Structure formats: structure tokens, C-alpha cells
Amino acid sequence: MQDVRYLMNGYLNMQYIITHSHGMRVWLIGGRGIGKTYGALQYCLEQGKPFLYMRRTKDQIENMTRDYFNPFKSLAPDWLINVEAMGKAGGRFYTGDPDDKDSQQTRGVMLALSGIAALRGFDMSDYDLGVFDEAIPEQHEPQRRGEGYALLNALETINRNRELQGRRAFQMLLLANANTLNSRILAETGDSSIIQRMNASGKTFYDSPAVTVWIFNDSPISERKKDQALYSNQRGRFADMALRNEFGDDTSQIRAADLRQYRARAVLGDMVVWRSRQTASRYHITRLDDAPAGALNGVRTFTDDARGRKECKAALPFLGIAYTQNRVTFSDYALKFSFEDFIY
């Protein structure tokens, strides 16, 4: 029986996928070359309305606004899309003759997540869709604190009050390979916890008004690609990500814990540090909301700001040592980022 998530040629069935996604953030996580970018851009163009194309950094967008790196190039000859820069962190894409302004029709704008804060207040009420390409960075790429919050702020600016007006919420299609769960965007939006639970349970689809997640780990294209020259002798991390769509993160520090076996040691912002009653040098980190009633009475709290983090480092220097010695565990992956921000 044909899997409706894929077309007969094996590529993603973007029409089916997007129309069955109800979240504002729609994650499409799959191996290399299975039709995520091509399919998403083609679908958005076919809707006939302007849409947003986003990348994480200004450098990436600057490259995308050059003809040589035009992300729409693969859609030719069906779509002949030109690109041009507009400022340092953005650009536009359009149809028509580059030398004839009168013939040009803008099909959308290109923005960098890292520069979108400077554009607060801009009106995108006529935009219903966005494509965030390479939303999960590769492991070697630097990340900036607050990337996830920047995305949430961008979605608030774009969406505004359209739902109060009876309109459907703006949707951002977040395209990614299974590079790493160690992503600021995943952690700060809370989406890493969802993906972590999906991986543990073997589920490949999650849908809610806030976020939809599709995990494509059985792509027919990936199956065909495994005998290509690049993958013929690849059995490690790269092939796991590119073909089998498997996250290769070390999750040995992520686990559930019986908090009855721990005593609350400190509150760090919206996290609680628990010390083992059996082994005093071991700690477990949970979210503040998970603390049982009365468990935090008399426990010192450090605020999630520069002053609070400075006071935490001075008062609890042993936490950094315990972390480097692998004596700290976490109830979910996203907490690792928040914890590191406090102790480093």
C-alpha cells in the first residue's frame, strides 16, 4: 500500500503533509535529499501568495541572495525565481526580468533569524507560510543563546492577532536533518522534549496547535541512496543522519528519576537542582513545575538573569565540576542548555 506521506516517485508528498499539519511550527525532519526544501518551496509558490524564506544567520541569507546560491534554482524550469539582497540581513525573491522592474512580481522575502529582532513591527499580515531551511544546525556550527526565543518573537510579530480575527495561524515549516538535539531552537521552544519522547516511543508524527513534528526515517529515496558512492562504506554517524534520519546525540544523561530519592538543593530560574540522598555527589535537574508540593520550602533561588547566574557560580561551584565529571542527569534534553548557561 502506498504511504501517503510520499509521492509515487519517493519524494515527500508536501501537499498531504502540510494540509495535515495544524501546528504553527511544523518540523519536517528527514534525511538528505528526500525533497524537504524542494517540496516546501514548490508548495508555497503554488499557493500564489508571498511567503517567507528564513535561515539562521545573516551570512547564510547573504549567500542565498546571490544568484550562484539561489535556493530556488532547482525548481527551474517550472519556476524561474530570481533573488536580490535588501539590506544586510534580508532580500527578496521574484519572478520576471531582472533588468525590467515593471515585469517583476515579488513572491516573498528572505530574512535571517539573527537579524529579525531589528524588524519588529513590520507587517506580514498577507503572509500565511514561511520556510525555515536548515533549522537545526550541524554540530560544528556555532549557536547563539536566544535563537529559540528569537523564533518565537518572530512568529508573534508575523502572526499578531490573526487568530482573534478568525484567520488561520501563520505556519513556519522548519526543515532539518537529524543533526543534533543540542539545538538552541529546539531547546528554547521546548520542541526537543517532544522529539526526544517521539524517538523513545518510535512515533514519527506529533500534532498540536503549537507544533507539528514529522520524522521521516523510512524515505524511499534514502533507501535508494544507500548504495551511492558516498554511502557505500559509511556505517557511522554521518550515514545515520543523512540516510536513516537518526539523531546521534549522547542521551546517557537524560533520564527519569524518582524524586523521593533526592533532596532539592537549589532553584535555578525555572529549574530545580536535586541532590541524591544515596550519593551526595550526584545531581538531577528537573523543571520547576515538576517539583512536588512542599519540596522547595527553604531552598535558595537564583534568578535567570546575569546577577542570578553570577551568584549561582559563586555559591554552587561544585555543580560545574559535577557536570564535567558526568555526575549530573536531566529529565529532558532541553534542560542541558539552561543548566550550562547557569554554570558557565
Residue linked to cell 517521539: 198
pLDDT digits (tens, 9 = 90+) for 196-224: 889 889 999 999 999 999 999 888 887 77
At residue 44, does pLDDT exceed 50?
yes
Residue 266 pLDDT level (bands cut at 50, 70, 90):
very high
pTM: 0.82
For 232-278, give the secondary structure using H, E and C: CCCCCHHHHHHCCCCCCCCCCCECCCCHHHEEEEEEECCEEEEEECC
**Vertex 174: Cα angle to 341 and 235 (nearest 5):** 80
Mean pLDDT of the 85-89 span: 80
Residue 242 pLDDT level (bands cut at 50, 70, 90):
very low
Residue 229 pLDDT level (bands cut at 50, 70, 90):
low
At residue 46, does pLDDT exceed 50?
yes
The separation between CA 121 and the C-alpha centre of its own chain, rounded to angstroms, equals 24
CA atoms of 48 and 121, how far apart (whole Å): 24
* Mean of pLDDT over the chain: 88
**Vertex 149: Cα angle to 148 and 151 (nearest 5):** 65
Top pLDDT among 179 and 78 is at 78
Q: Are 307 and 313 in contact (CB under 8 A)?
A: no
Sequence ranges of the domains in the chain? 14-242, 259-343
Q: What is the DSSP letter of 75?
A: G
Superfamily of domain 14-242: P-loop containing nucleotide triphosphate hydrolases (3.40.50.300)
Neighbours of 63 (CB within 10 A): 14
Neighbours of 47 (CB within 10 A): 11
329 Cβ contact partners less than 8 Å away, ≥ 6 residues apart: 253, 254, 255, 257, 282, 283, 284, 285
Predicted pLDDT of residue 140: 77
The separation between CA 170 and the C-alpha centre of its own chain, rounded to angstroms, equals 17
Predicted pLDDT of residue 236: 52
At residue 243, does pLDDT exceed 60?
no
At residue 335, does pLDDT exceed 60?
yes
Predicted pLDDT of residue 196: 84
Cell of 333: 534534553
